[in-house]
Amino acid sequence: MTEGNFVDYAKIFVKSGKGGAGSTHLRREKFVPKGGPDGGDGGRGGHVILRGNRNYWTLYHLKFNKHFKAEAGQPGGAARRHGRNGKDIIIEVPLGTVVRDAETGELQGEITEHGQELILAEGGKGGLGNWHFRSATRQTPRYAQPGLPGEEGWKILELKVLADVGLVGFPNAGKSTLLSKLTAAKPKIADYPFTTLKPNLGIVPYRDYKSFVMADIPGIIEGAAEGKGIGHRFLRHIERNSVLLFTIPADSDDIVKEYRILLNELEKYNPELLDKKRILAITKSDLLDDELKEEIRRELEEAGLDIPYVFVSSFTGEGLQELKDLLWQRLNEDALEGR
C-alpha cells in the first residue's frame, strides 16, 4: 500500500429509500361485482448498511465515492400483493471503523468483527394497503397509507487500527526500523521527523508458529493531544492496542523525561490509555557500552518507573528476541495465569 493510499477518515452522505405506498385497489371480477378492497402493502425502503470486511485495511475506497442512496420500496399491488423492498446499499469497511453523526458528533457504533453490520440509515416503512382499513361499516375504503420517508445525513467514519502492540515514541525514535526488523513490513525509513505519515502494520513471527500484530504509529510530539504536529491525528489508533511499546533512543538527553512526556500526552488524549500494559524499548543500544547501560538502569530505578524495559538494537539485533518474549508474555499473561 502506498503512502497516499492509507485513509483513516471519511465523511459520507447516506440516504435510505422511501417506503412504497400501499395500494387502494378494489377487487373487480366478472362474477364478483363487489369484491371489496384488496390493495397490498408497499415495500420497505432500502437501508444503508455498514459491514465489516477483514480484507480491507483502509477507508481509501470512500475517498472519492461519498454519496450513497438506497432504492425506494415499490408500491403495493392488487390481490394483496406486497411491493418489493428497496435494495439495500452495503458499504464495506475495515475492522476498527467507528461511526459518528457528523452534525451532533454522537457515536453510532463501531465495526470490530468480520461480517458485522450496522444500519446507518434505515429505510422508510412501506404503507399499508386499503385491505387493512376495511370494516363492517366501511367496506370499500378508497385510501391507503403512503410510504414513510427514509433517513438521510452526513456520517463520519474513523478507522482505529486493530493491532496487538502499538509503537509509541517521538519522531526518529527508531520505531519504523524496529518494525522492519521484527516483521516483514517495509515502512518508509529516513533520518528526518515524521517519516511515518500513516500507521504501518506488520505480523511478528513468534515461537511454535505463533504470531501477533504490531503497528507503528506516527511520531508523537509534546502537545500532540492539543493538535500539534501530526501525531494527534493517530492517537486514536493506540486505543485499540493491547500493549503499548514505548520506544526511546539510547542517545536521548533524558529517557525518563521523554517517557513521562509521552505518557502525559496519552493521558491528556484519553486517561483510559494509562490502564494498558506498557513496555519500554531503549533503541539504538549499539551506541552504549556496559557502563552506560548500567547508568541508564540506575536512572530508571531512581525515577521509580514501574515498567519493564529492554535494550534493543535494530542494527545488531541485540535484545530483539528478548523483546518479543516480553511482548508475548504481556499479551498472554492473563491466559498464562489461568484467568
Q: Could you give the CA distance from residue 339 to residue 334 in angstroms, rounded to a whole number?
A: 5
* DSSP 8-state assignment for residue 146: P
Contact 329, 337 (CB under 8 A): no
Give the full edge-to-edge strand order of the sheet including 89-93.
89-93, 48-52, 117-121
> What are the boundaries of each domain within the chain?
1-159, 165-336
User: What is the average per-residue pLDDT within 109-115?
Assistant: 92
CATH placement of domain 1-159: 2.70.210.12
Residue 2's alpha-carbon distances to 39, 52, 106, 282, in angstroms, are 57, 22, 32, 29
What nine digits make up the cell of 247? 520506544
Lowest mean pLDDT among 41-50, 52-61, 107-116: 52-61
Report which of residues 222 and 267 the model is more confident about: 267
Contact 282, 312 (CB under 8 A): yes
Percent of the chain residues topping a pLDDT of 90: 49
Percent of the chain residues topping a pLDDT of 70: 85
- Phi, psi torsion values for 106, nearest 5 degrees: -70, 135
Helices within the chain (DSSP H only): 175-182, 235-238, 255-269, 290-303, 320-336
**Model pLDDT, residue 32:** 67
User: What is the average per-residue pLDDT within 24-32?
Assistant: 79
Mind spelling out the 3-state secondary structure of 86-100?
CCCEEEEECCCEEEE
CA 176, 181, 182 angle in degrees (round to 5)? 100
* DSSP 8-state assignment for residue 149: P
> Is the Cα torsion angle 238, 264, 259, 303 positive or negative in sign?
negative
| Closest CA relative to residue 159, chosen from 226, 93, 232, 90 | 93
| Closest CA relative to residue 71, chosen from 24, 25, 16 | 16
Q: Could you give the CA distance from residue 43 to residue 27 in angstroms, rounded to a whole number?
A: 20
Residue whose C-alpha cell is 533512543? 249
This prediction's pTM = 0.66
What nine digits make up the cell of 152? 438521510
What is the tens place of the pLDDT at every residue in 138-196? 888 888 999 999 999 999 998 877 778 988 888 776 778 888 888 865 544 444 444 44
| Closest CA relative to residue 124, chosen from 69, 73, 49, 48 | 73
Q: Which residues 6+ apart lie within 8 Å of 55 measured at CB?
A: none
* DSSP 8-state assignment for residue 165: E
Q: Count the helix, strand and coil residues of the chain and give each as a percent rounded to the nearest 5.
A: 25, 25, 50
**Model pLDDT, residue 2:** 41
pLDDT at 114 over 90: yes
Tell me which architecture the domain covering 165-336 has in CATH. Answer: 3-Layer(aba) Sandwich (3.40)
* DSSP 8-state assignment for residue 25: -
- State the maximum Cα–Cα separation within the chain, in Å, rounded to a whole number: 108
